[in-house]
Amino acid sequence: MISHHDPLAGRWTLFRTWEGLRAGAAVVTRQPSSLYIEYLTRNTAVDLPPRLTVGRALLDAIDPIAGEEGVRFLTLDSVDDPSTISFYRHAGFMQAGPTRWDGAWGLLHPMVKNVGNRP
């Protein structure tokens, strides 16, 4: 069930599939000047071949939505994990303010990526 997918309301659910399995998912919502990535996750139960990307493929699928929506930024809150933060930095995201505490997720790092001028 895709309970969050409603493009007309500015919400998208994306899946990275492989051999009919959901290898990863992302949920994105429209903000006034950005697309906010609510979550991006990999399904570790799916055994993927080497070099088949999940996170990068999902981020690449989000970029055209930003273009269609005419927004300049992708934003997200990264969990406090060095490899996760490094992944986002290598994908072009930068720290976008002070870290903050969330009772459910722990320390979060707000991040932003400029996706350029949009019409």
Q: Look at residue 67 and tell me if it is in a domain.
A: yes
Beta bridge partners of 116: none
In this predicted structure, the answer to whether residue 117 has a pLDDT above a threshold of 70 is: no
Q: pLDDT class for 42, splitting at 50, 70, 90?
A: very high
Q: Look at residue 90 and tell me if it is in a domain.
A: yes
Q: Tell me which residue range forms the domain holding 51.
A: 7-114
Listed in order, strand segments (DSSP E) in 1-119 are 11-18, 21-30, 34-42, 73-79, 94-95, 100-102, 106-114
User: 64-93 pLDDT, tens per residue?
Assistant: 999 889 999 999 999 999 999 999 999 999
Q: Look at residue 1 and tell me if it is in a domain.
A: no
> How many structural domains does the chain have?
1
Q: What pLDDT is attached to residue 1?
A: 39
- The CA distance from 81 to 37, in Å, is 17
Q: Look at residue 36 and tell me if it is in a domain.
A: yes
Q: Which of 13, 10, 108 is nearest to 68 (CA)?
A: 10
The pTM assigned to this predicted structure is 0.89
Q: Look at residue 29 and tell me if it is in a domain.
A: yes
CATH no. for residue 106?
A: 3.40.630.30
